[in-house]
Every structure is written in C-alpha cells, then in structure tokens.
C-alpha cells in the first residue's frame, strides 16, 4: 500500500463508542485474530459495566477496537485488536493514543497492559509508545501447549506528554 493511501486511511479512521450492534463484527475480528478469543459475553460485560469500549471505524466499517478500565488512579488496557488486513497502518497506535488520552483526562496517573512475549509486533508498538516492562505474570495466557506468560507493561501518564 502506498504511504499516501495509508496516511489518508489513518486520517479517515474515526474512534467511536462501541455499541451492541457492533458485537457480530467485533467478535468476528477477535476470533480471526486470536486462537483463544474473548467471548461475546465478555465484550457485552465490558460495555455493561462502563469500561471505555471504542471502535476504529473507517467509512462505517469497524476495523478494530480497544477496551480499557479506569479506576484508583490507573488505567488498564484490556484488549486492542485491528483486523488483519488493516494492520501495520497505524490504527492500533491511533486507538492506543485515544485510550491514553481518555485515561489522562480521567485523572489516571498510570496505564498498564499485558502482552504475550510471542506477540513481538504488539510489544514493539507498546515500547515505542513509552510502555516499560514492570513484571511478568507466569502462565497468564491460555496457549496451545499449556500456558504462556504475560509481560506486564506500564506507562506513566503525565499531563503534557503524548
């Protein structure tokens, strides 16, 4: 894809609230991306309890999503996923920046997330955005051969830093 088209697509991408009507597409994106996906019930519970649930939308077409909880001075980014054919175009960065801005605006001082060490593309993105590893959760993720660890990443949210 040409960089001009990629830049136009990035600019056209809107971040909007997730709705119940988005569930079939969100669940399909999740299932296509992960061997052990979240269930529709988990997504619905996130909406029901008031987590920050957002969709990356390009021209009315949901291309990804991000979900974050906030409280007690910290944000926890729970899930970020972009449809395979839209990956590598800056959309995950765009929704992460949005979530971090929301966390900051809500008075949160830190943001946390977990990532599989085997998901090198995601880990590189998070590190490029100022996240640093602060721990490891042993056996956190379900995996084909048992369990996989999760690297725990943290980013301090200062009021003036993007």
> 34 an active-site residue?
no
Give the count of alpha carbons within 13 A of 33, CB side only.
23
Question: Given 30, 51, 65, 126, which residue is catalytic?
Answer: 126
Question: Given 9, 98, 114, 140, which residue is catalytic?
Answer: 114
> 114 an active-site residue?
yes
What are the catalytic residues?
114, 126
């Amino acid at each position: 894809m040409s960089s001009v088209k990629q830049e136009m697509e990035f600019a056209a991408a809107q971040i909007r609230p997730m709705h119940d009507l988005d569930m079939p597409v969100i669940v399909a994106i999740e299932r296509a991306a992960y061997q052990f996906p979240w269930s529709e019930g988990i997504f619905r519970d996130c909406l029901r309890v008031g987590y920050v649930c957002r969709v990356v939308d390009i021209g009315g077409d949901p291309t990804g999503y991000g979900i974050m909880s906030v409280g007690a001075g910290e944000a926890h980014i729970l899930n970020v996923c972009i449809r395979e054919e839209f990956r590598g175009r800056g959309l995950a960065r765009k929704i992460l920046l949005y979530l971090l801005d929301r966390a900051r605006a809500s008075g949160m001082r830190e943001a946390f997330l977990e990532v599989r060490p085997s998901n090198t593309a995601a880990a590189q993105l998070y590190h490029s955005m100022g996240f640093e590893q602060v721990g490891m959760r042993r056996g956190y993720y379900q995996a084909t051969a048992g369990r996989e660890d999760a690297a725990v990443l943290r980013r301090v949210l200062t009021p003036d830093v993007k």
